[in-house]
Amino acid sequence: MARIVMKFGGTSVADLDRIRHVADLVAVEAAKGDEIAVVVSAMSGQTNLLVGYVDELSADSSLGGHVDDEYDTIVSSGEQVTSGLLAIALRRRGVKARSWQGWQIPLQTDDAHASARIKGIETLAFNQSLKDGVVGVVAGFQGISPSGRVSTLGRGSSDTSAVALAVALKADRCDIYTDVDGVYTTDPRIVPEARRLNRIAFEEMLELASQGAKVLQTRSVELAMNNHLPIRVLTSFAKPGEDNPGTLVCDEDENMEERVVSGVAYSRDEAQISLLKLRDEPGIVASVCQVMSAANVIVDMIVQGTSRKEDQANLVFTVGRRDVEKAVAALEENKEKVGFDSILVNAKVSKVSIVGIGMRSHTGVAHTMFSALADRGINIEVIATSEIKISVLIGAEYTELAVRALHSAFELEAA
């Protein structure tokens, strides 16, 4: 007998028909005699609606900001609704089921309301319920704070709820049902020949997710990796009982290394900032980074180059596009301290990355990548590498062309 956590996101429980369908999928698994915990998100759009209510009331006063403990009380309610509805739908199918709210398990968090971290999960009662053959339907995204208040884990965190629960329950696997049938070699909207991967290593998934692939929340992949818990990504739109292998995200094995590149990711949410004629002396890059972190701006790619004059350097780095104004304002404010001449901003850039654990053991990967881009006349602004990733910053208008070029250069369409 296996123990499985099944997680369904917002589009999978978007309305009563979708919830009925999810109940059919769960019923098939439960009929196999496995122990099943299900984690649900709110119906799609619900959390946004609830956040909107809070925002509107909060705007009534000049005090600013959310009253965060009540924010959590409100926005967590979407998951309460779907957990109850799914439990009813399961019972109508003759499946023993009950709903569990975060505080009932309890899933304990810290008191950082709206972005709480999980501290521990007590599984005694929940475990017993599973052993009694009752499917536990858990409201994702929520927990209980040290002072006994409802807390939430941050937007999109029901993936993390599911993985954390699976780890605590020592589940064999966490199946994340979503609106795509797995992890692809790249975005099929750009490359129709993109392929679903049968397996992918945790590390690759992490890099792909942080480079712009939006299938799984990064935090949930980290948690799964640290605990060697395999995650399967699969579609909730399959018919019950239909073959639905999805993609297994798991520890790497030797076969995976034969594949040099596993995927191509892209992100259009980038902006490039260049600081011209910086004083070239120790501590300058550190002071730029300090200014950025004080402004709460995350700096991604960084390159420093010498300028024509010996004591001057140019520094180029990237930030998220929505942080550009904040970043520039903070730099201007600290112009004297940092010591630069002028700022150039280019918000029309994209980051395109290739990812694969096979890069560790294969040579010539960079050459293949840069030649493929050069052949299409695509100019590279910035390059960043890690052991299993190469990213380039290019003009945004070349995003699709670059993704297609790299996908075919590494023959990702071939099985």
| One residue of 4, 10, 260, 365 binding ligand ASP per CB under 6 A | 10
Indicate whether 212 belongs to the interface with ligand ASP (CB under 6 A): no
Indicate whether 151 belongs to the interface with ligand ASP (CB under 6 A): no
Please say which residue, 153 or 248, places its beta carbon nearer to Mg ion.
153
Which region among 99-107, 115-123, 151-159, 288-296 touches ligand ASP (by CB under 6 A)?
A: 151-159
Number of chain positions touching Mg ion (CB under 5 A): 2
Indicate whether 143 belongs to the interface with ligand ASP (CB under 6 A): no
Which region among 88-96, 154-162, 254-262, 306-314 touches ligand ASP (by CB under 6 A)?
A: 154-162
Indicate whether 142 belongs to the interface with ligand ASP (CB under 6 A): no
Indicate whether 102 belongs to the interface with ligand ASP (CB under 6 A): no
Indicate whether 71 belongs to the interface with ligand ASP (CB under 6 A): no
Which region among 1-9, 137-145, 230-238, 311-319 touches Mg ion (by CB under 5 A)?
A: 1-9
Beta bridge partners of 346: 272
Indicate whether 177 belongs to the interface with ligand ASP (CB under 6 A): no
Which region among 41-49, 252-260, 282-290, 382-390 touches ligand ASP (by CB under 6 A)?
A: 41-49
Picked from ligand ASP, Mg ion, none, the partner binding residue 93 (CB below 5 to 8 A depending on kind) is none
Please say which residue, 79 or 381, places its beta carbon nearer to ligand ASP.
79
Indicate whether 157 belongs to the interface with ligand ASP (CB under 6 A): yes
Indicate whether 9 belongs to the interface with Mg ion (CB under 5 A): yes
Please say which residue, 9 or 246, places its beta carbon nearer to Mg ion.
9
Nearest distance from C-beta of residue 9 to Mg ion, angstroms:
4
Indicate whether 78 belongs to the interface with ligand ASP (CB under 6 A): yes
Number of chain positions touching ligand ASP (CB under 6 A): 12
